[in-house]
Amino acid sequence: MLTIAISKGRIYEEALPLLAAADIIPIDDPKKCRKLILDTNHPDVKLVIIRATDVPTFVEYGAADMGIAGKDVLIEHGAQSLYEPLDLGISTCRLMTAAHKDAPPLGRRIRVATKYVKTAQHYFSSQGIQAEIIKLYGSMELAPLVGLADCIVDLVDTGNTLKANGLEPKDLIMTISSRLIVNKASMKMKHQQIQTVIEQIASALPSTTP
């Protein structure tokens, strides 16, 4: 049995053509059923539908052999215990700082609201800024508006939510995309099966050569 962990939503939808390139086609539709383990066209291949932040945990502990997760989630998880063979180039967005559009430049001591604690700490430390990190799980845009933080660190796609709340993106921390990850033990025990999937997905990715 080969199990692949993935979150439903944008990552799931954009990963479907890549999975199809590996001849993995889900039979069940997560939009139409409540099943968390989806059958595919292969009886020995299953898709496990979980929260995006849980994907690396499932793969690390062997509850799933492979997974697809955003680089932002992997950094926060600490993915040294996982193989990361492919950048899939899907579900791309930007991890940025954002603040009120009329806010003065950041000082050397600031408060930052984010759910990306490790990434934010590393970024501001590299900038020589002493940042007190306040972990929030949602409604990040509120923090600067009510005086909880000087700025936020969050994913930015269109920027419309920031704009609607009087904020604007400031500094780019990194560009985020989704990655294929593999459990190390599974890579040894199911090497041929997993390597075939990796190669088939890789063949469907745009060439990076000029």
pLDDT in tens, 153-179: 999 988 898 999 999 999 999 999 999
Q: What is the pLDDT of residue 115?
A: 95
CATH T-level topology, domain 2-91+177-204: D-Maltodextrin-Binding Protein; domain 2 (3.40.190)
Q: Is the pLDDT of residue 138 over 50?
A: yes
Domain range summary for the chain, segments of one domain joined by +: 2-91+177-204, 93-175
Q: Is the pLDDT of residue 51 over 50?
A: yes
Domains 2-91+177-204 and 93-175 share a fold: yes
Distance, CA of 152 to CA of 116 (rounded, Å) = 10
pTM, full prediction: 0.88
pLDDT class of 101 with cuts at 50, 70, 90: confident
CATH T-level topology, domain 93-175: D-Maltodextrin-Binding Protein; domain 2 (3.40.190)
Give the pLDDT mean for 19-30.
93
Query: Which two tokens mark 55?
Result: 């994907």
Extract long-range pairs of 168-171: CB within 8 Å, 24+ residues apart.
168/98, 168/99, 168/100, 168/101, 169/94, 169/96, 169/97, 169/98, 170/96, 170/97, 170/98, 170/99, 171/96, 171/97
